[in-house]
Every structure is written in C-alpha cells, then in structure tokens.
C-alpha cells in the first residue's frame, strides 16, 4: 500500500497512528500525551483487520492525565503494551537509523525487543537482568559506604551471573536466527557480506568476583550484557563508524525484513510493515528490489511524497491531505 502526499500533510502521522493502534505505543515518543492533537483532550486510534479468517478490532485511547487504554475485540487489556505480544508491527523511520549508527544501548534495546517477539517466554529476561544489576549496584554502594558487609553483594552477583548468562545466550540465539536472512536481504539490496556479531561474554561469578574492587569504587557493575554490543558489519567493516548513509539505511532495512521473515516463520503470521520515507534516499534499482520484496512480505504501508518513487503498482494507493486520507486510483 502506497501512502502519498506532499511534505507535512500527515503521512508519518498516519503510520504513527497505525503503530499506536496495533502496538500500544508510538515509535516516535515514549510520552503518550505527545500523540494527542495539539489542544485536544485525548486521542483514539482504532483499526480493524483480519488474521487468517479471524477478525481483529484493535483500539487504543490516550487521555491527558489518565494514561492509555487498549481493547482487543472489545475486551479491555491490562496494559496497552500487551498488544505487542499479540500483533507484530515493524516500522522503518529515519529515526530508527540509530539502531545502526547509534550507541550500543540503541542496538541492545532493539535486539532485546526482537527477543521478546521471537521468544515470548523470555521476553521479561532483559528487564529481570536489569533489575538484578540495579540491585547489585545498590548493594555495592551500601558496602562501599560501610552500611553493610561485602557478603551482602554475593547473592546479587550470583543472580547477575545467572541471568546475564541466560540473556547472552538468548541474544546469541536471536542473532543466529536473524543473521542468514539479514545477510541475504542486504545482498539483494546490494550490500554484501553483512554480519551480526555479538560483542560480549557471559558474566561468570569468577569474572564478577575479580571485578569487585573496581565495582565497589564505581558503585556500578562493570561487566555483563547491559554493556555488550552487536556489531553490524559489511565485508568486515563496522557500519556504525564506516557505513555510508545509504549503507546504514540498507542495513536497517535488511534487519527489519529479516525480522519480518523470522516472525513469519515462527508464528505463521507475517508482521505489518510500516516503511516511512524509505524510498527517497534509495537509487531506482534498489527501490525496485525493495518494492518486490515488500510485496511478498505480507501487508506493508510505504510512504512517499510522490507515487513515481515506487517503481511498482501498489495494491492500494492512499492520498493524504491535511486531516483526510482518500483512496486513489493506483
């Protein structure tokens, strides 16, 4: 589906609304009140669709000062974020290039979200590990300040080691699942030899014990997956530092397409793809390849300022003007 309109008419707003309705949060901001129209009291985003033969109605409402509410087929959900475990929507926006060119924390957050989708049973692992690190850090500071003995750190070190090892193993698993498809999709888009390499070791009890003096001094745990990174490289070159803008964009696209394929393989349901401003920076050949790939990947919405940017006939063409979205003849 191609969504067209001049700059500033609301194409990104439309994609954001679909993301809010299907995932329970905005890809742009974690501050829910920012999705409300200026001057309005609340916002409501609702979508209906089908998964196989099953109809699905999703609705998310946000009211200033009241928080969010989500409903699935009329039934209220405990938290809007629950939608994420029920429906998969993957989004490309230029903001998300941070996954490739941003600091390690951006990649950790991305891959941990993928982990949650691909292995729902392990979805809480990153949070549980983060909580264990926070507890160990608090114990380190208490011991350093003389408010408790060092032995009080021990149980938290054990927990950091156990959950840390589990988290590293889970992340390696995610990378192993994504890498082959990511390499293929990237090569198809003209970026050869893409690899995903995990940088970090599981934090063993021995390594944590060896780091104790340093950790006491800093009041923080100096090793473990909360500090690890994933190196995205092409032909051995780290794309974070050495990739061109276009290469970074292709790598992110390849990653999202690989994620979509993996989700489809695992669950039998392809995710909804929202690709915002993806075409403008790609050369015509790459746009053609992307259009063909996206067509076979389930349902996708692609935005562009001009329909001629998509070198394929979309199944549906939507024209956005301020405040309205109309179906146009493709």
Ligand X SMILES: Nc1ncnc2c1ncn2[C@@H]1O[C@H](COP(=O)(O)OP(=O)(O)OP(=O)(O)O)[C@@H](O)[C@H]1O
Choose the contact partner of 241 out of ligand X, Mg ion, none; CB within 5 to 8 A by kind.
none
E strands in 251-309: 272-275, 300-304
Residue 106 and residue 203: Cα distance in Å, rounded?
21
SS3 325: strand
**84 in Cβ contact with 23 (< 8 Å):** yes
Give 237's strand partners.
234
Q: Select the residue interacting with ligand X from 1, 2, 4, 13 (CB under 6 A).
A: 13
Chain positions 158 to 197 lying near ligand X, rule: CB under 6 A, are: none
> Beta strand pairing status for 229-234 and 237-238?
antiparallel
Binding to ligand X by residue 98, rule CB under 6 A? no
Minimum CB–partner distance for residue 156 and ligand X (Å): 43
Under a CB-based contact definition with an 8 Å cutoff, are residues 11 and 319 in contact? Answer: no
- Interaction between residue 26 and ligand X (CB under 6 A): no
Q: Is 8 in the site for ligand X (CB under 6 A)?
A: yes
Write each residue from 286 to 315 as x if it is in contact with ligand X (CB under 6 A), else as -, in one continuous string. -------------------x----------
From the list ligand X, Mg ion, none, pick the one residue 78 interacts with, judged by a Cβ distance below 5 to 8 Å according to partner type.
none
125 contacts: CB under 8 Å, gap ≥ 6:
115, 163, 166, 167, 170
Residue 6 phi, psi (nearest 5): -65, 170
Binding residue (CB under 6 A) for ligand X from 30, 31, 38, 52: 38
Closest CA to 51 of 78, 24, 89: 89
Stretch that binds ligand X, among 4-12, 137-145, 165-173, 186-194 (CB under 6 A): 4-12
- For 111, the token pair is 């891959």
Give the Cβ contact number of residue 156 at 10 Å.
20
Binding of residue 50 to ligand X (CB under 6 A): no
Least distance between ligand X and beta carbon 243 (Å): 23
Q: Residue 10 or residue 102: which is nearer to ligand X going by CB?
A: 10
Contact partner, 305, from Mg ion, ligand X, none, Cβ < 5-8 Å per class:
ligand X
122 binds, among Mg ion, ligand X, none (CB under 5 to 8 A by kind): none
**Nearest residue to ligand X on Cβ basis:** 12
In the bound complex, what is the minimum distance in angstroms from residue 55's beta carbon to ligand X?
Answer: 29
CB of 322 to ligand X, least distance (A): 7
Tokens of 16: 């954001």
Tally of CB atoms within 10 A around 171: 23
Per CB under 6 A, residues contacting ligand X are 5, 7-13, 37-38, 277, 305
């Amino acid at each position: 589906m191609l969504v067209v309109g001049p700059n500033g008419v609301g194409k990104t707003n439309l994609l954001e609304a679909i993301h809010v309705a299907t995932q329970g949060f905005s890809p742009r901001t974690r501050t829910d009140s920012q999705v409300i129209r200026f001057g309005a009291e609340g916002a409501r985003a609702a979508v209906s669709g089908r998964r196989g033969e099953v109809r699905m109605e999703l609705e998310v409402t946000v009211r200033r000062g009241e928080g969010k509410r989500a409903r699935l087929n009329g039934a209220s959900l405990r938290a809007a974020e629950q939608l994420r475990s029920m429906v998969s929507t993957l989004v490309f926006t230029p903001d998300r290039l941070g996954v490739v060119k941003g600091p390690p924390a951006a990649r950790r957050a991305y891959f941990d979200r993928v982990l949650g989708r691909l292995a729902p049973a392990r979805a809480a692992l990153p949070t549980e590990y983060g909580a264990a690190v926070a507890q160990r850090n608090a114990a380190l500071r208490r011991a350093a300040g003389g408010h408790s003995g060092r032995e009080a750190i021990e149980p938290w070190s054990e927990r950091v080691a156990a959950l840390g090892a589990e988290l590293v193993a889970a992340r390696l698993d995610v990378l192993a699942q994504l890498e082959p498809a990511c390499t293929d999709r990237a090569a198809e888009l003209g970026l050869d030899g893409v690899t995903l390499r995990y940088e970090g070791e599981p934090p063993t009890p021995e390594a944590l014990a060896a780091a104790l003096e340093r950790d006491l001094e800093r009041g923080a745990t100096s090793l473990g997956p909360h500090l690890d990174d994933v190196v995205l490289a092409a032909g051995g070159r780290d794309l974070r530092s050495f990739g061109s803008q276009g290469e970074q964009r292709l790598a992110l696209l390849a990653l999202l397409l690989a994620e979509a394929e993996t989700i489809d393989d695992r669950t039998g349901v392809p995710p909804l793809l929202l690709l915002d401003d993806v075409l403008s920076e790609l050369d015509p050949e790459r746009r053609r390849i992307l259009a063909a790939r996206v067509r076979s990947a389930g349902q996708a919405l692609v935005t562009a300022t001009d329909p001629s940017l998509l070198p394929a006939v979309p199944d549906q063409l939507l024209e956005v003007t301020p405040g309205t979205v109309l179906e146009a003849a493709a």
